[in-house]
Amino acid sequence: MNVSTELKNAYSEAIRKHFEEEPESLDPRAYLQKAKDAAKEMAKSKIRMVGSEGKVVPQFV
């Protein structure tokens, strides 16, 4: 499993989709937020997939 590639692909796909749906919307705040949200959801799904949801290492809290 290459999580980095999957995160990058989710990020890129969100930007591509933004410009397909809103070609005149060139504000980076709009398309980058969508990209960050897509990457965040992908990360959450991978965390769940490996059974690490809800587990926090105390030194990082």
Each residue of 21-56: pLDDT tens digit? 999 999 999 999 999 999 999 999 999 999 998 887
Q: 1 pLDDT exceeds 90?
A: no
The pLDDT value recorded for residue 61 is 58
Query: The tokens of 17 are what?
Result: 């989709």
Contact at 8 Å (CB) between 6 and 42?
A: yes
pTM of the predicted protein model: 0.81
- Does residue 25 or residue 59 have the better pLDDT? 25
The pLDDT value recorded for residue 58 is 75
Closest-CA residue to 25 (of 13, 40, 41, 17)? 17
The pLDDT value recorded for residue 28 is 96
Instruction: Work out the end-to-end distance of the chain between its first and last CA atoms, rounded to an integer number of angstroms.
Output: 27
